[in-house]
């Protein structure tokens, strides 16, 4: 398996066997005013286990493996570093093919009250509109339910868990603010999936799709913000602000992300050296490339290439 950087919240210890109420989907609940935090653990193999949560739920895998069966879509593997958005009162059926006492699965589920979502979305649409007026802030539907966690989403989720588990008398207030941020990060993560991975479908309906296409097609060339903002028909300042607002990272950060992804693809080819991958991915300084790669991937380009072989 190729090495991949997985973004997970801080580890949550599993329960000792004597504290479990059930070996399958044992549930620990932290109830707050705006949401309910659930920690599910399964310590034995099981299949087609039904589960339904109140309200829309953001679930995140922490350890182990599930196979998810959601209405209207094929079954899929659900692994650590991924999240799944489950619609209000939607029935999940879950397989636990590898779970046992020495290797449990563990999953977080934040069930969010509809009013909390509505208030946050209404505030964003009123005060912080997106680039395209016909595409307002909203939690996307089933097409964008299965997500790879971004660092920003993971960090916010970790803080939400810490707040929910705390004994602070003001934790409901603090959790409310963090929940708003979590919803923003969730919508930004879904927007990245829409624009970054499916940009060709949206070239005529979303100006950032044309920007993403240009970046992908010209990775080794200079990519000045002036050129990208002109493609989006915006001033430089407006483009920079709205890109970051909608997608959760700056245009420069996205360019770096794409060049690192291309470098990883090149490094998986035996005949291509680290220096070659650096230049062919659009970096012109080997030391900078090596430091940036280690910062983002957790290992050096040479170590990544060695693991891939």
- Residue 44 — very low, low, confident or very high, per pLDDT cuts 50/70/90? very high
- Domains of the chain by residue range: 17-196, 200-309
**Per-residue pLDDT averaged across 195-217, rounded?**
94
- The pLDDT tens digits for 266-300 are 999 999 999 999 999 999 999 999 999 999 999 99
Task: Compute the distance between CA of residue 227 and CA of residue 218 in angstroms, rounded to an integer.
Answer: 12
- Largest Cα–Cα distance of the chain, in whole Å? 63
Strand order across the 56-63 sheet: 26-31, 35-42, 105-112, 56-63, 82-86, 146-148
Count other Cβ atoms within 10 Å, centred on residue 228: 24
Give the bridge partners for 63, in sequence order: 106
User: Between 1.10.10.60, 3.30.310.10, 3.40.50.970, 1.10.3720.10, what CATH number should domain 200-309 receive?
Assistant: 1.10.10.60
- The pLDDT tens digits for 87-124 are 988 999 999 999 999 999 999 999 999 999 999 999 99
**Per-residue pLDDT averaged across 148-170, rounded?**
93
What dotted CATH number matches 17-196? 2.60.120.280
pTM: 0.91
Task: Compute the distance between CA of residue 12 and CA of residue 164 in angstroms, rounded to an integer.
Answer: 13
Mode of pairing for the β-strands spanning 92-96 and 26-31 = unpaired
């Amino acid at each position: 398996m190729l090495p991949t950087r997985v973004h997970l919240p801080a580890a949550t210890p599993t329960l000792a066997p004597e504290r479990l109420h059930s070996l399958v989907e044992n549930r620990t609940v932290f109830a707050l005013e705006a949401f309910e935090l659930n920690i599910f653990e399964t310590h034995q193999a099981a299949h087609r286990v039904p589960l339904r949560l109140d309200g829309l739920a953001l679930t995140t895998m922490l350890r182990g493996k599930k196979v998810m069966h959601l209405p209207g879509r094929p079954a899929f593997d659900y692994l650590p570093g991924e999240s799944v958005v489950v619609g209000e009162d939607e029935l999940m059926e879950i397989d636990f093919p590898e779970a046992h006492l020495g290797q449990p699965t563990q999953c977080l589920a934040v069930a969010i009250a509809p009013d909390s979502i509505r208030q946050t979305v209404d505030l964003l649409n009123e005060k912080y509109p997106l680039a395209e007026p016909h595409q307002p802030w909203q939690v996307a539907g089933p097409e964008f339910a299965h997500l790879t966690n971004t660092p920003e989403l993971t960090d916010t989720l970790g803080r939400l868990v810490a707040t929910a588990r705390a004994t602070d008398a003001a934790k409901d207030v603090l959790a409310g603010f963090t929940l708003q941020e979590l919803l923003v990060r969730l919508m930004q993560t879904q927007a990245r999936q829409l624009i970054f991975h499916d940009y060709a479908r949206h070239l005529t309906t979303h100006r950032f799709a044309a920007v993403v296409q240009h970046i992908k097609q010209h990775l080794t060339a200079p990519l000045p913000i002036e050129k990208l903002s002109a493609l989006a028909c915006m001033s430089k300042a407006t483009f920079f602000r709205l890109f970051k607002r909608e997608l959760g990272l700056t245009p420069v950060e996205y360019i770096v992300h794409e060049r690192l992804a291309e470098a990883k693809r090149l490094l998986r080819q035996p005949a291509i050296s680290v220096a070659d991958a650096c230049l062919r991915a659009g970096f012109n300084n080997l030391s900078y490339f090596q430091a940036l790669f280690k910062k983002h991937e957790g290992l050096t380009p040479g170590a990544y290439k060695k693991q891939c072989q």
